[in-house]
């Protein structure tokens, strides 16, 4: 408690100094990175398809959304391979990096390894890890352990009427991953998804080779059996009839979706059949107000960015302080009030936030 009181005293002693950091450098960096989005190329229903076969062009496109990729086009976030082990049995999917330290995954893809009564949220007989690189599902050179899973009110696995997601804490920073900038999914726009999914076998069962692929998809205005408050769909047009027999991003739950400007729109959670019709993939919307408010704090927990920019408007000013204090004293505490992300909202969070605010970070 003494740390809390001292922090409050010191912080308000500096209030008149107006010690706020400028954001010109951050804005310039984001603008410069977004400018490279033109490398993605234009969408064409004749050629685009997330996984239309084991072809080099979709693999090359995936590299633009991987940590340290050859020509990164997203402003932040990334696609990483994700694995759970329960009693030694491995299960693969993809995870979306929200920033260097935190990932978001579908709850249905990780719930077998969870224990809500454990301090870490991970079962005693389980472990969870991510890895990076174009062949990350079976390349163990860049592996990061998930040390804690974070759950959200209302999240339900594999439920079309509830959000299906959880956040993983790596306890350390992924290399070459910037904080994600959350965008909005707009009907008719083209989105780009990247992940470690399947490739089609003509008139056969989709096969896995664990290599990352990516491609463009048009966002639809209506969903099939999924609540539009939480989910949107993208439609994929494969190259030839022989490649229509697959399910969107089959086996690729957790893959990130980006718009042409490199902003993170959402995360794959399910797919529809694509036999002789275009495949579709359903993704969780990160522009849902509740989901957005809950995920934003996990995009900025890294040195060098504005941790205290509570309203995420790119500026640090008294509005952020007022908004955080409002969230802290709300009953129950509001989204983002657990500033130190230890699973509780208590005076340490208020002290840490005010310290960060007046340090201008």
pLDDT, position 206: 56
* Burial label, 175 (beta-carbon count in 10 A; 0-12, 13-18, 19+): exposed
Distance, in Å, from the CA atom of 171 to the CA atom of 186, rounded to the nearest integer, reads 34
Q: Can you give the pLDDT of all 361 residues of the chain as single tens digits?
A: 545 555 554 544 444 433 333 333 333 322 223 322 332 333 333 233 344 444 566 677 778 888 877 666 777 889 998 999 999 998 888 999 999 899 999 999 999 999 988 989 999 999 999 998 877 766 677 899 999 999 988 999 999 999 999 999 998 888 888 889 899 999 988 888 888 866 544 455 555 666 777 777 788 887 778 999 999 988 765 443 333 333 345 567 899 999 888 899 999 998 755 545 566 788 999 999 999 988 988 886 443 345 677 776 667 788 889 988 988 998 888 777 888 766 678 898 898 888 888 877 6
* Domain identity same for 244 and 153: no
pLDDT, position 141: 72
* Domain identity same for 191 and 311: no
* Domain identity same for 151 and 86: yes
Q: Which residues of 311-335 are buried (b: 16+ CB within 10 A; e: fewer)?
A: bbeebbeeebbebbeebbeeeeebb
pLDDT, position 147: 92
262, 189, 254: which is closest to 31 by C-alpha? 262
* Domain identity same for 164 and 197: no
pLDDT, position 142: 84
Supply the range of the domain harboring residue 227.
40-71+181-285
Question: How many domains are contained in the chain?
Answer: 3
pLDDT, position 23: 35
Q: Which long-range contacts (CB under 8 A, 24 or more apart) does 6-11 make?
A: 7/351, 7/354, 7/355, 8/350, 8/351, 8/354, 10/358, 11/354, 11/355, 11/357, 11/358
Look at residues 108, 135, 169 and tell me which one is the last residue of a structural domain: 169
Residue 29 counted as domain residue: no
pLDDT, position 176: 86
Rg (CA), the chain: 21
* Domain identity same for 56 and 84: no
Distance, in Å, from the CA atom of 96 to the CA atom of 102, rounded to the nearest integer, reads 9
Residue 301 counted as domain residue: no
* Domain identity same for 258 and 311: no
Q: Give the CA distances from residue 306 to residues 20, 32, 336, 359, in Å, rounded to whole numbers and listed in that order.
A: 10, 18, 14, 10
Q: Give the CA distances from residue 20 to residues 214, 250, 341, 357, in Å, rounded to whole numbers and listed in that order.
A: 40, 47, 23, 8
281-103-288 Cα angle (round to 5): 55
Look at residues 169, 203, 238 and tell me which one is the last residue of a structural domain: 169
Could you give the residue ranges of the DSSP H alpha helices within the chain? 2-13, 24-35, 56-62, 107-110, 289-299, 318-329, 347-359
Dihedral (CA of 283, 289, 293, 299) sign: positive
Domain of residue 354, CATH code:
1.10.1330
């Amino acid at each position: 408690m003494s740390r809390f009181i001292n922090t409050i005293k010191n912080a308000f002693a500096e209030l008149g100094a107006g010690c706020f950091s400028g954001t010109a450098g951050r804005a310039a960096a984001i603008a410069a990175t977004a400018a490279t989005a033109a490398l993605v190329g234009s969408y064409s229903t004749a050629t685009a398809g997330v996984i239309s076969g084991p072809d080099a062009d979709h693999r090359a496109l995936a590299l633009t959304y991987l940590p340290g990729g050859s020509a990164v086009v997203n402003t932040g976030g990334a696609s990483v391979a994700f694995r759970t082990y329960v009693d030694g049995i491995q299960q693969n999917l993809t995870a979306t990096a929200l920033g260097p330290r935190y990932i978001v995954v579908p709850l249905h893809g990780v719930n077998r390894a969870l224990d809500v009564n454990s301090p870490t949220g991970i079962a005693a007989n389980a472990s969870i890890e991510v890895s990076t690189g174009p062949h990350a599902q079976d390349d163990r050179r860049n592996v990061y352990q998930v040390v804690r899973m974070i759950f959200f009110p209302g999240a339900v696995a594999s439920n079309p009427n509830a959000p299906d997601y959880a956040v993983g804490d790596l306890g350390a920073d992924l290399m070459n991953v910037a904080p994600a900038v959350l965008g909005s999914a707009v009907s008719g726009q083209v989105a780009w998804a990247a992940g470690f999914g399947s490739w089609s076998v003509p008139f056969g069962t989709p096969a896995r080779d664990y290599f990352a692929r990516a491609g463009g998809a048009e966002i639809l205005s209506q969903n099939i059996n999924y609540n539009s408050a939480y989910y949107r769909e993208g439609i994929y047009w494969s190259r030839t009839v022989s490649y229509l027999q697959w399910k969107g991003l089959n086996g690729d739950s957790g893959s990130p979706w980006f718009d042409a400007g490199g902003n993170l729109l959402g995360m794959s959670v399910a797919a529809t059949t694509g036999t002789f019709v275009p495949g579709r993939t359903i993704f969780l919307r990160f522009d849902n107000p509740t989901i957005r408010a809950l995920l934003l704090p996990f995009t900025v927990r890294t040195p060098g960015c504005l941790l205290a920019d509570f309203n995420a408007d790119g500026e640090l000013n008294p509005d952020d302080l007022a908004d955080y204090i409002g969230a802290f004293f709300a009953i129950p505490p509001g989204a983002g009030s657990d500033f130190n992300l230890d699973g509780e909202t208590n005076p340490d969070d208020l002290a840490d936030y005010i310290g960060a605010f007046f340090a201008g970070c």
